[in-house]
Every structure is written in structure tokens, then in C-alpha cells.
């Protein structure tokens, strides 16, 4: 395990068994925790977490793609303490400097037409508002999202989340249509020339550097949705992640979203870029994930890494679109309060000053390439994909069929990584994708350690079978 010069405080909280009893009695049962013996976390420092017994773990999931610049980053701790001593809540009926400084700095990272910010508290809330704006502005109702997408769990957003594992048997999908996911690993089309990524799938295809047949074929499927499922020239909009996160780090083929955006605009709609997981430099080459696709969204939503774990999110759009909220009163009690904005400002400063976007590309590319070597070595590693520090590794029973590795086998590998000190996320419809999205401060040494641990876990798996 890499050296880390830090000693956590001694844990003095509730006994582990007492917490399990309280959880079973007083906490809603739908909240399921990772691992057979859930971790009782006590302290965090940059890319590391410490449990109640003082054991150290490398956090390769960043609190579900949320801790962008490091747990308890000293500069964020400092500014948070200073702001709490000054003014830590005031709604927008009054003015405070932090909000206006933040709005100006945030929009400076985006294309020039996106200049108006509405700050909220979560990704679901941001996407909720984005859909609302889209329908109000266009006067249309029909929304397109992609199968395998996750955009939130509020009742309004559950309709756009197209994963049955995240759906309840209630009416939530009025006016939402789910288009085929352009998945070049398991979908109908795609192969080894289709991704804008250092690592390609091993499938063969007839695509060239300049033309992707997978894009053309998946686009025809999208056209079918417009042809048969929505009123002619009356779509409200499209919402799409730049890389699908919860769905298993699904990376769309090159040029696909460009064509999709053109089709939406031609039919009177707006395009929403869901940057909740792909924003703030995580993909390395660009600050925003949509930039890798060469597209200009009408609305951008962001959360998670925006506040490094502080509950904060935002919707950014054009001044013209934003004006539709003037038709009635619209207000958010906590969104954009002084404490949130001071932390958001500091996150932007740290990403720039500590070159975290570059680090995402540098360390992330190394990690992708090393994980690809495991794919070549182990039959159960079917695909490695992603960009920067947003990476997925899909575990399968058989490379030829792409049949997902069974839950019990997946858990053995996953738990083994935890035992050896590395925490990795889990995703995909079948829960068979290892998700890597660590704080962007991780080092090359951390990446090497991660690969060594995963390789050992895979070896242990095969040795025990």
C-alpha cells in the first residue's frame, strides 16, 4: 500500500453492533450498503478513507463520483470554517457576494452562450429543473432519454432513468421515450475503432478513423423513435449523459451525440447535457464531458464533484431559456447559499491550481491501459472503457457471449479488493461493472496499487474455483 503521512483520530463513536441495530430499526430498509460487513467510516483525507478501527482504504470511487478534489481538502476545510464564522445561510431574497462570484467563475468554464446559473442541491433536482425549463421554453412535452441511463430518483426524473432496477411500479414516464443505447460493447453494433478513448473494445468492426458505422446504425434507431413515437417536429428535448455512469460507464461511439443533437434541434427541441458525473475535469481532455463529443448543449446540469461532497448542484443555460421561469414565482431555499458557493468557488480554484484535470488524464490513461492488460490476461474481464478518471471494467462469464459474471462471483472479487485496501464502485444493469472514479488527486502510485490489488483478487478468484 502506498505510504501516506497521516494518522487518523481515534474513533470514539457508537459501537459497530449498536449502529447495525439502529440501522435495522430506525433507517429505511431501501438504503443498502456496500459489502457483506458494511464499512463504518470514521475519517477521510484526500484519496484515503479510514474506518472505525483505523484501517486505511484507497477510495477509488470518490463517494460515488462526488469527492472531486479530495476528502477534507485543507483549503476547502479552511474556507468552510471561515464562511461558517461569517454567514452560512441566506436565501436569495438577499444578496451575498459568493453567489455572484461563483456564477461568474462557473460560467467562464462553459461555452459563451451558457451564462445563466440556477443553483440547487442535488443532481436529481438539477435534472428535474432542466426538464421543466425544456418543456416550458419549447411548449412541447415529449422527452427523449436513452436506455440504461440514470438521471435521478425524484418522481419527475424516474421517468428518464431507464434502468428497471431503479424504477417503481408507479406512473412516472408520461411523455418520456427511451431510445436504444449506443453501446459498442454489448449493443448490436460497435467495435475497436468507435470510442474516443485510449482503450477500445476488442470487437471487430468495419469502422474507420473518419467514419463510424456504429454511429450511423444507432442514429437510424434514434430516427425511428422520432418517426413513430413523438409528434412531428414537436419534441421538447433530449437528456443524455456524456458517458453513462450508473449504467456501467457506457461510452458512446464517436459522432453519435452530434447527430442526435442535430435531430433534436431540427424537431424543435432542446438538448440537455447531464454532467453530474462527467464534469469538472474528470474525463481529462476537457473540463466538461460534452466537449469530447463536439456538441453545444442548450442546458447543462451538474452536481456531485461541484462541491466535493457538499450538497450542491446547478443548472446552466442561456438567458433566453432562463426567462421562462419569470412566468411564475420560482424559488429554492437552500440553493446558492453562502456556504455552498464558497465551497464551489474553492473547488474550481483547486482543480485549476493543482492541475487536477491534467492529473485525471495522466493517471487515468495509465490506469485504463493497465486495466486493459488485465482484460487480455483474464477470461472474466470482458471490457475496459472510459476516459480520464471515469473508468468501467466489466466482468463476464465468457468473453464471446458477454454474459455477465454472476453476482456471487462478482462479489468475491469485489470484496477481496476491499480486504486488500481498495474501495471500488459497482454499476451496470447486472451489477457486474467495477466503477473507478476516485478523487482527482490520486497519484500514479495509487493507480499501480489499484491494478496490483485487482490482479491479485482475480488470481484469487481463479485459484479458488
Residues 313-362 pLDDT 10s: 999 999 999 999 999 988 889 999 999 999 999 999 999 999 999 999 99
User: pLDDT at position 256, please?
Assistant: 97
Of 62-66, 163-167, 177-181, 183-187, the least confident: 163-167
What was the pLDDT predicted at 427? 96
The structural domains of the chain, with segments of one domain joined by +, span: 16-65+356-464, 76-353
What whole-number distance in Å separates Cα of residue 1 and Cα of residue 16? 26
CATH number of the domain located at residue range(s) 16-65+356-464 in this protein: 3.90.1150.10
Mean pLDDT of 231-244: 95
Question: What is residue 14's predicted lDDT score, i.e. its pLDDT?
Answer: 96
Per-residue pLDDT, 155 = 86
Mean pLDDT of the chain: 95
- Quote the CA–CA distance of 204 and 346 in Å, as a whole number: 45
pLDDT at 133 over 80: yes
Q: Can you give the pLDDT at residue 233?
A: 86
Q: Which three cell numbers stand for residue 21?
A: 441495530
Same fold, 16-65+356-464 and 76-353: no
The whole-number pLDDT of residue 412 equals: 97
Is the pLDDT reported for residue 112 higher than 90? yes
Give the mean model confidence (pLDDT) for residues 258-278.
97
Position 238 scores a pLDDT of 98
Q: What architecture is domain 76-353?
A: 3-Layer(aba) Sandwich (3.40)
Predicted confidence at residue 32, as pLDDT, reads: 84
Q: Which residue has the cell 416550458?
A: 136
The percentage of residues in the chain with a pLDDT greater than 70, rounded to a whole number, is 100
CB of 147 closer than 8 Å to CB of 114: no
Give me the phi and psi of 114, to 5 degrees please: -100, 95
Burial state string for 151-165 with b = 16 or more CB within 10 A and e = fewer than 16:
bbebebbbbbbbbee
> Cell 477510495 appears where?
59
* pLDDT > 90 in the chain, percent: 91
Of 144-148, 317-321, 386-390, 398-402, the poorest mean pLDDT is in 398-402
Taking residues 438-464, report their average pLDDT.
97
Residue pLDDT, tens place only, 168-212:
888 887 899 999 999 999 999 999 989 999 999 999 888 877 788
Residues 271-297: pLDDT tens digits?
Answer: 999 999 999 999 999 999 999 999 999
Amino acid at each position: 500500500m502506498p505510504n501516506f503521512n497521516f494518522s487518523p483520530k481515534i474513533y470514539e463513536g457508537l459501537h459497530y453492533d449498536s449502529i447495525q441495530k439502529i440501522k435495522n430499526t430506525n433507517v429505511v430498509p431501501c438504503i443498502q450498503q456496500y459489502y457483506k460487513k458494511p464499512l463504518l467510516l470514521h475519517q477521510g483525507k484526500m484519496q484515503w478513507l479510514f474506518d472505525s478501527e483505523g484501517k486505511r482504504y484507497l477510495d477509488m470511487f470518490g463517494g460515488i463520483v462526488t469527492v472531486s478534489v479530495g476528502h477534507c481538502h485543507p483549503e476547502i476545510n479552511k474556507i468552510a470554517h471561515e464562511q461558517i464564522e461569517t454567514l452560512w445561510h441566506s436565501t436569495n431574497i438577499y444578496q451575498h457576494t459568493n453567489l455572484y462570484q461563483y456564477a461568474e467563475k462557473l460560467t467562464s468554464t462553459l461555452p459563451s452562450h451558457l451564462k445563466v446559473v440556477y443553483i440547487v442541491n442535488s443532481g436529481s433536482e438539477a435534472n428535474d429543473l432542466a426538464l421543466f425549463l425544456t418543456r416550458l421554453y419549447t411548449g412541447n412535452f415529449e422527452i427523449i432519454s436513452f436506455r440504461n441511463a440514470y438521471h435521478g430518483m425524484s418522481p419527475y426524473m424516474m421517468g428518464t432513468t431507464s434502468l428497471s432496477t431503479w424504477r417503481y411500479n408507479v406512473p412516472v414516464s408520461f411523455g418520456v421515450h427511451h431510445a436504444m443505447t449506443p453501446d459498442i460493447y454489448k449493443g448490436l453494433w460497435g467495435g475497436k475503432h468507435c470510442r474516443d478513448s485510449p482503450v477500445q473494445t476488442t470487437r471487430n468492426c468495419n469502422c474507420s478513423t473518419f467514419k463510424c458505422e456504429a454511429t450511423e446504425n444507432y442514429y437510424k434507431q434514434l430516427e425511428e423513435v422520432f418517426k413513430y413515437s413523438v409528434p412531428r417536429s414537436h419534441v421538447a428535448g433530449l437528456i443524455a449523459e456524456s458517458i453513462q455512469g450508473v449504467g456501467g460507464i457506457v461510452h458512446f461511439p464517436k459522432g453519435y451525440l452530434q447527430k442526435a443533437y442535430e435531430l433534436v434541434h431540427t424537431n424543435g427541441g432542446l438538448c440537455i447535457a447531464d454532467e453530474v458525473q462527467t464534469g469538472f475535469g474528470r474525463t481529462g481532455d476537457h473540463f466538461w464531458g460534452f466537449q469530447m463529443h463536439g456538441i453545444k448543449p442548450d442546458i447543462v446540469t451538474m452536481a456531485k464533484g461541484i462541491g466535493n461532497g457538499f450538497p450542491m448542484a446547478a443548472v446552466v443555460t442561456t438567458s433566453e431559456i432562463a426567462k421562462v421561469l419569470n412566468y411564475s414565482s420560482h424559488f429554492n431555499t437552500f440553493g446558492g447559499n453562502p456556504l455552498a458557493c464558497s465551497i464551489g468557488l474553492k473547488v474550481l480554484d483547486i482543480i485549476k491550481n493543482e492541475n487536477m484535470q491534467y492529473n485525471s488524464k495522466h493517471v487515468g490513461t495509465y490506469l485504463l491501459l493497465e486495466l486493459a492488460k488485465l482484460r487480455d490476461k483474464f477470461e472474466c474481464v470482458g471490457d475496459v472503457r472510459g476516459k480520464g478518471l471515469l473508468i468501467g471494467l466489466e466482468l463476464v462469464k465468457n468473453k464471446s457471449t458477454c454474459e455477465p459474471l454472476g453476482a456471487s462471483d462478482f462479489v468475491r472479487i469485489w470484496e477481496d479488493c476491499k480486504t486488500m485496501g481498495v474501495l471500488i464502485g459497482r454499476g451496470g444493469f447486472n451489477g457486474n461493472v467495477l466503477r473507478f472514479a476516485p478523487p482527482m488527486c490520486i497519484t500514479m502510485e495509487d493507480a499501480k496499487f489499484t491494478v496490483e490489488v485487482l490482479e491479485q483478487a482475480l488470481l484469487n478468484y481463479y485459484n479458488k474455483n
